[in-house]
Structure 1
Amino acid sequence: MVKIDFNKAFNSSMNYMSSILFKPFIFRKWLALGFVAMLAGFGSGGSGGGGNSGSNTSSWGRSVDKMSPDIGTYLHQYLWLILLGVGLIIILCFIFTWLASVFKFVYTDQLVRNSMEIKEPFARLKGLGTSYFLWTIAFGLAFLLSLLVIVGIPALIAYKTYYTSTALSIGCIVIGSLLFIMLAIVGGVIDIFARDFVITTMYVKNLRIIEAWRTVIPVIKANKGQIALYILLLIVIAIASGIISIFIMIAAVIIMAIPVGILVGLSLLIALAASLTWNAFTIASVSILSVIMLFVFSTLLVCLMQPLLVFRRVFALQVLGQLDPDLATIDVINTMTPSSQPPIS
């Protein structure tokens, strides 16, 4: 078992992050890293929200009942359009998942080589990204199937026995919840191994996904205690990063508020002057502008988060380099410059 020097990995990652982002500060490099990190899915998060219902629920229910025939008519009339839309969404999901898989390698390449290049590493690494993409799809389907079986069966039993055996129903709910938590933890750990270790192994040795897992699994098994400590440290880093990200998001909102406010104001003035009304053209225009503004805001947010994202990725690279020197990409002793040996010829 290899004893990981986490203190050295932490300090080295901070030094390397500082060297490539601030020494010197190059605005174009921040944009390049931010753009790639956004497409790679680094720094993305999810949020959930709830709604509340008004007091006039019965009136709302009657309105829905009146609308039901019309809804059915519309669904029947535009079924082909709905199916086309669903099909396009699925295709887009596959495309963006593939892009995210490839850009994970491009982002790693940018950090290892201290580079702003995008086009050349994309062409060079898209084969590895495609291999990772296929594994991602297979893993996602396996996870959903496991979720359906492990959680779905207790949920079905709880539903069937809700009126006949309350104790059994509650027991199934508790068991299903525990199984869901366990499955989520296992899936999260596998995802960490894939992102932090497997991608790097594929990058360094130019291996496909299965061969990379075969290389990584023995390293994990031989260092189970150190890997467990690494995951705990990642939780601490994630909490600290989450707190800092709140302030970064506030800064991004403030930066975007002025240009967005000006754009919205000008749009309203133009709409009033031209006596525009809501129609297919105006709805499409507002939708396109909203997508553009969302893209710009997302890019700005990820650019501002680069110190966090670079540190997190470099920290993983350095930990793996200590576990297996053959997989080292960035010198863990002198982190002011990338490794002199390029990972892929």
Structure 2
Amino acid sequence: MIQIAGMNGTEPKIEIFKPFAEAFELMKKILFQPFDLKKWLVIGFAAFLASLSGGVSSSFNPLSRWSTREDNKAIAQSFHEMWSAGQFEWWVIALIAVGGLIILALVLALVWVGAHGRFIFTDCIVRNRAAIVAPWKEFRAEANSFFLFSVLVLLILITFAIVGVLGLALPLILRGDGSRPGTALLIAFCVFLFFLACLAFGFALTLQLMVPIMYRQRCRAMDAFGQTIRLIAGHPGPVLLYMLFFLVLVIAAAMISCAATCVTCCIAAIPYVGTVVLLPIPVTLYAFSLLFLRQFGPDYNVWADFMPPEFLPMLSSVGPVPPPPTSSLNPPPEPPSSAA
């Protein structure tokens, strides 16, 4: 078992495997003990909403793999041929601009709904209930703040990617059309892509840790982001192990998702249907994040104010009272008093 404790012995032990085991038991309690189809479908819908903003379940959504490299290459080749032939009229450019704005608005709307979905899904797990409307209204302010912060993070990542790609491509642009990238440039480009992927993954996990903090403290996104950064800076070892273990879980979930898609003849690739079929996976992963954070104190414990009674045997932090020592059960007889 992986445990990281403070040097002075006063800090709580931060574990990795124990929260995951508790999350698995919590998933069984929520979904199977007892099994309720209506509850399953409602929580599945909450998980589907959460995936719209890049939540856990979207990381292994089979739909994200429908666009292949050949499709992207064919689309790019078509645009290149049209541009070379001078077939772009003003109305075509205007139509593309309007279509781009519509797509952008649709994406922002989905991210906005997904931000609310994260809090709804968290509430379903924390309170062991199947509800959509009530948590939507209760955490409306926090979800809107999280949405704006997510858009800001996305813009930062896109800007960083564009600047990095242009910086690497600038030598080729200055050399002319006949130049080819050298080995050093290709290596630099691969390193940049790897760094960008790590940065995006780190931001995604940071956003995921922010949601329980905002849920628990009812604070804004910037406050939750600051607390998350301080938490990572104060406990880099446990958080790094958590991120690595979570990455392994996401990869395993993606493999299970692909296998389920093949077994069900692509039925699991349908967005909501796939989430319902694979619902134990996002419930376990979300619960794992909640249980990992609660180890850092009551400010990060989403069950600090309320815990369903059925969760008490699994999540109660109070251990059983140790039995008294044997000597206390059979006290030695008192010596006889001497006669006066």
Partner of 2:145: 131
Residue 86 of structure 2 is aligned to residue 112 of structure 1: no
Q: 1:79 to 1:179 in 2, by over 3 A?
A: closer
Q: What CA deviation, in whole Å up to 9, does each residue of 1:79-110 have, x standing for no partner?
A: 55444333222211111111111111111011
Shift of 1:138: 0.8
Q: Secondary structure at the match of 1:253?
A: coil
Q: Secondary structure at the match of 1:117?
A: coil
Amino acid at match of 2:168: P
Paired residues, number: 285
Q: Secondary structure at the match of 2:311?
A: coil
Partner of 1:229: 241
Partner of 1:180: 193
Partner of 2:48: 38
- In the alignment, the residues of structure 2 paired with residue 310 and residue 327 of structure 1 have an alpha-carbon distance, to the nearest angstrom, of 19
Partner of 2:282: 309
Partner of 2:311: 337
The answer to whether the 8 Å contact 1:37/1:104 transfers is: yes
TM-score, normalising length: structure 2: 0.75
Shift of 1:164: 8.3
Q: 1:255 to 1:103 in 2, by over 3 A?
A: closer
Identity among equivalent positions (%) equals 24
- In the alignment, the residues of structure 1 paired with residue 45 and residue 33 of structure 2 have an alpha-carbon distance, to the nearest angstrom, of 20
Amino acid at match of 2:49: L
Shift of 1:78: 5.5
Q: Secondary structure at the match of 2:135?
A: helix
Q: What CA deviation, in whole Å up to 9, does each residue of 1:135-179 have, x standing for no partner?
A: 11111111111112223201221343477886x743223213212
- In the alignment, the residues of structure 2 paired with residue 34 and residue 109 of structure 1 have an alpha-carbon distance, to the nearest angstrom, of 13
Partner of 2:332: none
The answer to whether the 8 Å contact 2:16/2:238 transfers is: no
Shift of 1:248: 2.3
Q: Secondary structure at the match of 1:100?
A: helix
Q: 1:127 to 1:20 in 2, by over 3 A?
A: same
* Greater Cα offset, 147-156 or 11-20: 147-156
Q: Secondary structure at the match of 2:14?
A: coil
* Greater Cα offset, 300-309 or 4-13: 4-13
Partner of 2:171: 157
The answer to whether the 8 Å contact 2:43/2:131 transfers is: no
Gap runs ≥5 in structure 2: 1-5, 7-11, 72-76, 317-340
- In the alignment, the residues of structure 2 paired with residue 221 and residue 83 of structure 1 have an alpha-carbon distance, to the nearest angstrom, of 43
Larger radius of gyration: 2
Q: 1:147-296, aligned counterparts within 5 Å?
A: 147-161=161-175, 169-195=182-208, 197-253=209-265
Q: Which has the higher helix share?
A: 1
The answer to whether the 8 Å contact 1:17/1:310 transfers is: yes
- In the alignment, the residues of structure 2 paired with residue 255 and residue 88 of structure 1 have an alpha-carbon distance, to the nearest angstrom, of 29
Q: 1:81-96, aligned counterparts within 5 Å?
A: 81-96=95-110
- Compute the RMSD of aligned alpha carbons: 3.1
The answer to whether the 8 Å contact 2:295/2:301 transfers is: yes
Partner of 2:74: none
- In the alignment, the residues of structure 2 paired with residue 250 and residue 113 of structure 1 have an alpha-carbon distance, to the nearest angstrom, of 34
- In the alignment, the residues of structure 2 paired with residue 335 and residue 242 of structure 1 have an alpha-carbon distance, to the nearest angstrom, of 33
Q: Secondary structure at the match of 1:151?
A: helix
- In the alignment, the residues of structure 2 paired with residue 330 and residue 15 of structure 1 have an alpha-carbon distance, to the nearest angstrom, of 16
